[in-house]
């Protein structure tokens, strides 16, 4: 027969992941509404993702949202204009 345990083991309380994901999805939804993309966006709750067609400027704005973890572009191979990048040449042209 085994001796009684030396310490009382209690179940650890695990934080609810679903609550944090729901809050993040709401934050992203509000950001999409602010940018006027809420009607175009498609929400996928199972993947915890939105699918939306956005401009480069809108993507930059979404990237600053705290709930955004990753942005995956649908197009992989295309020529990117200098004006769409953060390169100094592109920024100078946009300021002028």
pLDDT tens sequence across 23-41: 888 889 999 999 999 898 9
86: confidence class by pLDDT, cuts 50, 70, 90:
low
Listed residue (80, 19, 36, 54) closest to 63, CA to CA: 54
Q: Which two tokens stand for residue 83?
A: 């004006």
- Supply the pTM of this predicted model: 0.56
Name the residue with tokens 């994901």. Answer: 21
Q: Within 10 A of 4 (CB to CB), how many other CB atoms are there?
A: 6
Helices (H), 35-74: 56-63
pLDDT at 33: 94
């Amino acid at each position: 027969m085994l001796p009684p345990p030396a310490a009382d083991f209690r179940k650890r309380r695990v934080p609810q992941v679903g609550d944090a994901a729901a809050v993040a999805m709401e934050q992203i939804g509000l950001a999409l509404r602010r940018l006027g993309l809420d009607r175009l966006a498609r929400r996928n709750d199972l993947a915890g993702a939105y699918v939306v067609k956005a401009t480069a400027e809108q993507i930059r704005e979404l990237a600053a949202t705290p709930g955004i973890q990753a942005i995956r572009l649908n197009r992989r191979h295309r020529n990117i204009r200098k004006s769409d990048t953060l390169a100094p040449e592109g920024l100078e042209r946009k300021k002028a």
